[in-house]
Amino acid sequence: MSLQEQMLEICAAAKLAGAKLACISGSTKDKALIALAAKLVERKDEIFKANAKDLQAAEEGGMDSARLDRLRITDAVIESMSTACKDVAAQSDPVGEIEGMTKRPNGLLIGRMRIPLGVILMIYESRPNVTIDSAILCLKAGNSIILRGGSEAIHSNLALAKILREALVENGLPESAAQVVPVTDREAVAILLKQEDSIDVAIPRGGEGLIRAVTEQAHMPVLKHYKGVCHAYVDEQADLPQALEIVYNGKVQRPGVCNALECLLVHRSVAEEFLPMVAEKLGKAGVTFKACPQSLPLLGSTAEPATDHDWGYEFHSLVLAVKVVDSMDEALEHIRKCGSNHTELICTRDHARAMRFLREADASLVLVNASSRFNDGGEVGLGAEIGISTSKLHAYGPMGVRELTSTKFVAFGDGQVRG
């Protein structure tokens, strides 16, 4: 069988499975997710063995530490995937819900019924946990899914796919409702992205290069975010010790993820007090700074002058751009110019200023006095996420079960005809 034939077969099976899945009860789907949660823990040694092959190949290939961190499956990752299965199973099933029912003057009742999107193509890099998180969300929302992970995680993804298929079949769901593309040939992606008759939506998750390549090639709608350039603005009315902890957490906890902090904006009136605190605490954690002329002398020996390239750049490492601003207006203008619509936050004790920032900062999540790291499906109550959309259509922000459905109009009549 040629690669073209193999991909077309996967698409046909996904479309058929999606049609069946859309009619399956919520309780049946939940039963499969609970079974999967148990299997992931029971079969973790099998998963670790497969993951070890990927890690060895990645290390031998010179993969950087941030990407290795995303690739590695640990006990905590297993537990997180298992918990996500249970959390998603516990959510209400949106499929079939009728919303906004209104009565027209002619007596016709008009509403919207929530329905699956159809067949989802998920293209992603490094993180094997995306295989499970994406599959369970799509299954809960009545969608079938085709999963195409990066070549660096092929053994891990195939091991997870095997366990996933068993949970589906043993609990009455179509085996092809969640399929992992079993080849690493990049041509497979190019073929899949042309199958608009079979695939309803493509969702790329990874670096900006991957997302732009998918967007350029796709013949179907794409839900995407290109990068996560997240800013923290420390206002003149900020609680500085609290702000320091928020900035530290945003930059240091996991610097290689899309909701990590990349740029710190500090009001001039607090810069001389706050930035030496930042230099001390973050510097000890290995952070280096790309600093504007005003912040450079306040950030110590690990700071160097910022270039134009550093503003709006996603470092994915322990590097933080720092800029002193004269006002919130300047901070918001910098965010408009250099942000990526992902995550923005303000540290302030002034309610009016906080509310203004919430209104005017354009991002999928805007926070007051909290870390950028909370822009995550699990943290905002979705159980898990298939990705964070910064494109506003059809969703904005973390995408959970509800964001993986659409609506169609439905009408209830009693013999009405149009005159």
Q: What is the pLDDT of residue 355?
A: 98
Q: What is the pLDDT of residue 78?
A: 97
Q: Tell me which residue has tokens 């069988």.
A: 1
Q: What is the pLDDT of residue 256?
A: 84
Q: Tell me which residue has tokens 């996420």.
A: 385
CATH entry, 3-223+399-412, from 3.40.640.10, 3.50.50.60, 3.40.605.10, 3.30.420.40 = 3.40.605.10
Who's near 65: CB < 8 A, 6+ residues apart?
256
Share of the chain above pLDDT 90, in %: 90
Pick out the chain residues at pLDDT < 70. none
Q: What are the backbone angles phi and psi of residue 299, rounded to the nearest 5°?
A: -110, 5
Q: What is the pLDDT of residue 30?
A: 98
- Judging by DSSP bridges, how do beta strands 388-389 and 397-398 pair with one another? antiparallel
Asked whether 16 and 197 are in contact (CB, 8 A), the reply is no
Asked whether 225 and 283 are in contact (CB, 8 A), the reply is no
**Token pair listed for 146:** 């085709």
Taking only the tens place, the pLDDT of each residue in 131-184 is: 999 999 999 999 999 999 999 999 999 999 999 999 999 999 999 999 999 999
Cα torsion angle, 236, 237, 241, 246, sign: negative
Q: What is the pLDDT of residue 393?
A: 82
Q: What is the pLDDT of residue 392?
A: 84
Asked whether 96 and 114 are in contact (CB, 8 A), the reply is yes
Q: What are the backbone angles phi and psi of residue 70, rounded to the nearest 5°?
A: -70, -30
Who's near 192: CB < 8 A, 6+ residues apart?
7, 10, 11, 121, 146, 148, 181, 199
Cα 180 from chain centroid? 19
Nearest Cα to 106, choosing from 340, 419, 412, 416? 416
Q: What is the pLDDT of residue 126?
A: 82
CA distance 341 to 137: 23
Asked whether 107 and 416 are in contact (CB, 8 A), the reply is yes
Give DSSP secondary structure letters for 72-106: ---HHHHHHHHHHHHHHHHSPP-TT-EEEEEE-TT
Strand order in the sheet with 288-291: 303-305, 288-291, 319-325, 261-267, 230-234, 343-347, 365-368
As assigned by CATH, the class of the 230-374 domain is alpha beta
CA distance 305 to 290: 6
Q: What is the pLDDT of residue 250?
A: 98
In the chain, where are the structural domains located? 3-223+399-412, 230-374
Collapsing DSSP to helix, strand or coil, 154 comes out as helix
- Helix (H) or strand (E) run with residue 322 in it: strand 319-325
Angle subtended at Cα 284 by Cα 280 and Cα 286, rounded to the nearest 5 degrees = 125
> Any idea what DSSP says for residue 302?
G
CA distance 144 to 151: 22
